[in-house]
A and B are shown apart, each in its own frame.
Chain A
Amino acid sequence: MSPLLEVEDLKVAFTRRGEPDSVAVDGVGFDVQPGEIVGLVGESGCGKSVTSLAIMRLLPERGNRVTGSIRMDGDDLLALSDSAMRERRGKDLSMIFQDPLSSLNPVISVGLQVTEVLTRHRGMKKDAARREAADLLDRVGIPDPRRRLDSYPHQLSGGMRQRALIAIALACTPRLLIADEPTTALDVTIQAQILDLLKQLVAETGTALVMITHDLGVVAGLCDRVNVLYGGRIVERAERHELFRTPRHPYTHGLLGSIPRLDGPPGEELAAIRGSVNDNLPWTDACAFAPRCPRKLDACTAGTPPVTENGRLLRCINPVEAS
Chain B
Amino acid sequence: MLRFIVRRLIQVVPTLLLLSVLLFAWLRSLPGGPAAALLGDKATPEKIAELNTVLGLDQPIPLQYLRFLGRAITGDFGNSLITGERVTTEIARALPATIELSIAALLIAVLLGIPLGYVAARYRGRPLDTATVIGTLVGVAVPVFFLGYLLKQWFAVDLGWFPPSGRQAVDIDATHVTGFAVLDGLITREFDASWDALIHLVLPAIALATIPLAVIVRITRASVLDVMGSDFVRTANSKGLAPSTVRERHVLRNALLPVSTTIGLQTGLLLAGAVLTEKVFVWGGLGTLLAQAIERRDYPRLQAVVLLGALVYVLVNLLVDLSYAIIDPRVRVR
Partners in one complex: yes
| Chain A contact residues, CB within 8 Å of chain B | 56, 58, 62, 85-91, 94-95, 97, 99, 102-108, 112, 116-117, 120-121, 152, 154-155, 165, 168
Q: Are A120 and B241 in contact (CB under 8 A)?
A: yes
Inter-chain contacts of A116 with B (CB < 8 A): 239, 241, 245, 249
Q: Are B240 and A105 in contact (CB under 8 A)?
A: no
User: What distance in Å separates the Cβ of B299 from its nearest Cβ neighbour in chain A?
Assistant: 48
Q: Are B239 and A117 in contact (CB under 8 A)?
A: yes
Q: Are A105 and B250 in contact (CB under 8 A)?
A: yes
Q: Are B253 and A107 in contact (CB under 8 A)?
A: yes
> What mask results when residues 230 to 248 of chain B are scored 1 for a CB within 8 Å of chain A, else 0?
1110111111111101000
Inter-chain contacts of B249 with A (CB < 8 A): 105, 108, 112, 116
Interface membership of B333, Cβ < 8 A? yes
User: Which single member of A86, A88, A104, A107 contacts B235 (CB below 8 Å)?
Assistant: A104
19 A–B pairs (Cβ distance < 8 Å), ordered by A: A62-B125, A86-B243, A90-B241, A94-B238, A103-B231, A104-B232, A105-B232, A105-B249, A106-B329, A107-B257, A107-B330, A112-B249, A116-B245, A117-B239, A121-B240, A152-B330, A154-B329, A154-B333, A165-B235
Complex: how many Å from CA A91 to CA B240? Answer: 8
Q: Are A105 and B328 in contact (CB under 8 A)?
A: no
Excluding A90-B238, A97-B234, 14 further A-B contacts by CB distance (< 8 Å) are A58-B234, A58-B237, A89-B237, A99-B231, A102-B230, A105-B236, A106-B330, A107-B254, A107-B257, A107-B329, A108-B253, A112-B249, A120-B239, A152-B329
User: What distance in Å separates the Cβ of A104 from its nearest Cβ neighbour in chain B?
Assistant: 6
Interface membership of B327, Cβ < 8 A? yes
Complex: how many Å from CA A116 to CA B239? Answer: 9
Q: In the complex, how many residues of chain B place their beta carbon closer than 8 angstroms to a beta carbon of chain A?
A: 25
| A-B complex: 9 closest residue pairs judged by Cβ atoms | A89-B240, A90-B240, A90-B239, A102-B231, A105-B232, A86-B240, A103-B231, A152-B329, A103-B235
Inter-chain contacts of A121 with B (CB < 8 A): 240
User: What distance in Å separates the Cβ of A99 from its nearest Cβ neighbour in chain B?
Assistant: 6
User: What distance in Å separates the Cβ of A276 from its nearest Cβ neighbour in chain B?
Assistant: 27
Complex: how many Å from CA A58 to CA B328? Answer: 28
Inter-chain contacts of B240 with A (CB < 8 A): 85-91, 117, 120-121
User: What distance in Å separates the Cβ of B254 from its nearest Cβ neighbour in chain A?
Assistant: 6
Inter-chain contacts of B254 with A (CB < 8 A): 105-107
Residue of B nearest to A94 (CB): B238
Max count, chain A CB within 10 A of own CB: residue among B230, B239, B250, B330: B239
Within 8 A of A (CB), among B225-276: 230-232, 234-243, 245, 249-250, 253-254, 257
User: What distance in Å separates the Cβ of A88 from its nearest Cβ neighbour in chain B?
Assistant: 7
Complex: how many Å from CA A107 to CA B332? Answer: 12
Inter-chain contacts of A94 with B (CB < 8 A): 238-239
Residue of B nearest to A91 (CB): B240
Complex: how many Å from CA A95 to CA B235? Answer: 8
Inter-chain contacts of B235 with A (CB < 8 A): 97, 103-105, 165, 168
